[in-house]
Amino acid sequence: MAYSCRTYELHCNECGRSFGNQPLSACDVCLAPLEVHYDLEAIRPHVSRASIAAGPFNIWRYKALLPLPDGFEPDLPVGFTPLVRASSLGRRIGAEKLYIKNDAVCFPTLSFKDRVVSVALANAQAFGFTTVGCSSTGNLANAVAAQAARLGLKATILVPADLEPAKILNTLVYGARLVRVEGNYDHVNRLCTQIAEEYRWGLVNVNLRPYYAEGSKTVGYEIAEQLGWRLPDNIVCPMAGGSLIRKIRKAFKELIALGLVEEKPVRFFGAQATGCSPIAQSVKQGLDYIEPQRPNTIARSLAIGNPADGPAASKMIQDTGGYAEDVSDLEVVSGIQELAETEGIFTETAGGVTTAVTARLYAHGRITRDQVTVSVITGNGLKTTDALAGSYPTEQSIRPRLADFTAYIQQLEQVSEPELATVGAY
Ligand SMILES: *Cc1c(COP(=O)(O)O)cnc(C)c1O
Ligand SMILES: [Zn+2]
């Protein structure tokens, strides 16, 4: 079921052996993860800033840099989300050149997982799979269910049993088969690995993982293009499996190699919730391995205790001179509120993690105020409203009379303003 393609194929990161193109995620010799390797020399004549600018306003403008089977005709306008100058948040946390990459509004299912799934399913079809699936902490489930529906593929999706209700509903509505598994994500993922051996299914983050992961590079391409074909000084990025943060770096390196941006050092900063922070702990202790954890945090989309790309992510962050931080669940909620109150962007718990970590990195002087910094917001707040339960009083109602309204407003103004959340103060 393999296919061949001129410009890319799977390579083992450890021993360098090549595997062509097939649904396979690890080297059978050294068990290291496989990654898509490109013949950049063959690609170079076909890409320029102008050719990309002439493309559609979605991730397919970078088609030449993605592992897409010959003849693949993309028609789902995924990605190309806004890069927003965050002046208001910046004033609060002491940042002058802070940007938000806003994948809270990614099309079609409101998280950056739409990007990875579109690349994975293009390959699933080329390999001839008619059933696809994944193990998921929520957003991936939504993205696979939606895109499988559109492509007429059957979808079977496995999630931890205690997932947020909105993420469950956002999977079922597309007609996907949902399997709730007792245990945490790591149990679900282990089961999926066994399923991939037993069933002829394309599991996007298991046997299709190398292709899936490449979709994350588009976040990096977009950031560079939206900054006017320049690289930022710093990236702050949430980490679950540790894939996205690495692929943004890979995107920048490819752009440099192809002469599309000027070379410059970019530091990478990882963000996790303290209740599941194996990669952040590894970075903080300067290790090249991960101590797996048992997740316990409201940031469920980041709750992977034994991250597949954790060791590589930790090493990459340290190599770039970056750092990683982790924040408490209380700070996650403050981070959600702070981004909403300053920039009008409602993100999910993962974005609360990233915002709180960004504030702390400035507060601790790891990022200085004049550096160009992009904080990557990866998911939408409407999916995790339960994280804010109890944060706001349910308002009483008034009669439709001006006198009642005036009395009510006066009463509100007498009540002292609740103290504003200031995540930078932690
Ligand atoms: C999956 C996910 C991440 C992390 O992705 P990895 O590539 O596994 O590190 C971050 N944010 C959100 C909202 C996600 O769903
Ligand atoms: Zn190998």
Residue 239 lies in a domain: yes
pLDDT at residue 419 is higher than 70: no
Report the nearest-CA residue for atom 5 of ligand 1: 240
What are the tens digits of pLDDT across the range 80-131? 999 999 999 999 999 999 999 999 999 999 999 999 999 999 999 999 999 9
Residue 118 lies in a domain: yes
Same domain (yes/no): 279, 153? no
Q: Place 352 in a pLDDT band, splitting at 50, 70 and 90.
A: very high
Same domain (yes/no): 93, 161? no
Range of 55's domain? 8-77+113-212
Question: Average pLDDT in the 33-46 region?
Answer: 93
Domain termination residue (choose one: 197, 212, 227): 212
Residue 356 lies in a domain: yes
What are the tens digits of pLDDT across the range 43-84? 999 999 999 999 999 999 999 999 999 889 998 999 999 999
Please state, in angstroms and rounded to a whole number, the distance separating the CA atoms of residues 155 and 145. Answer: 6
Same domain (yes/no): 51, 131? yes
Please state, in angstroms and rounded to a whole number, the distance separating the CA atoms of residues 145 and 149. Answer: 6
Closest ligand 1 atom to the C-alpha of 304? Answer: 8
Please state, in angstroms and rounded to a whole number, the distance separating the CA atoms of residues 5 and 127. Answer: 13
Q: What is the DSSP string of 201-264?
A: -EETTTTTHHHHHHTTHHHHHHHHHHTTS---SEEEEE-SSSHHHHHHHHHHHHHHHTTSS---
Same domain (yes/no): 224, 175? no
Same domain (yes/no): 323, 368? yes
pLDDT at residue 426 is higher than 60: no
Q: Tell me, what's the pLDDT at 396? A: 82
Same domain (yes/no): 206, 324? no
pLDDT at residue 196 is higher than 90: yes
What are the Cα distances from residue 123, in Å, to 7, 13, 28, 189, 215? Answer: 15, 21, 21, 21, 12
Span between the terminal Cα atoms of the chain, in Å: 53
Q: Which of 298, 305, 244 is nearest to 277 (CA)?
A: 305
Say if ligand 1 is within 6 A of residue 244 CB: yes
Same domain (yes/no): 179, 220? no
Residue 298 lies in a domain: yes
Q: What is the CATH number of the domain that holds 120?
A: 3.40.50.1100
* Alpha helix (H) residue ranges in 28-112: 40-43, 49-53, 87-93
Longest dimension (CA), the chain: 78
Closest ligand 1 atom to the C-alpha of 379? Answer: 13
Cα 119 to ligand 2 centre (Å)? 24
Upstream peptide bond of 108 is cis (omega within 30 degrees of 0):
yes
Question: Average pLDDT in the 195-212 region?
Answer: 96
What are the tens digits of pLDDT across the range 237-291? 999 999 999 999 999 999 999 999 999 999 999 999 999 999 999 999 999 999 9
Residue 3 lies in a domain: no
Cα 137 to ligand 1 centre (Å)? 9
Same domain (yes/no): 237, 315? yes
Closest ligand 1 atom to the C-alpha of 247? Answer: 7
Question: Average pLDDT in the 9-16 region?
Answer: 93
pLDDT at residue 385 is higher than 90: yes
Same domain (yes/no): 52, 158? yes
Please state, in angstroms and rounded to a whole number, the distance separating the CA atoms of residues 248 and 235. Answer: 9
The count of domains in the chain is 3
Same domain (yes/no): 260, 148? no
Domain termination residue (choose one: 212, 247, 279): 212
**Structure tokens that stand for 279 in this block:** 């990669």
Residue 1 lies in a domain: no
Residue 200 lies in a domain: yes
Same domain (yes/no): 61, 133? yes
pTM of the model: 0.94
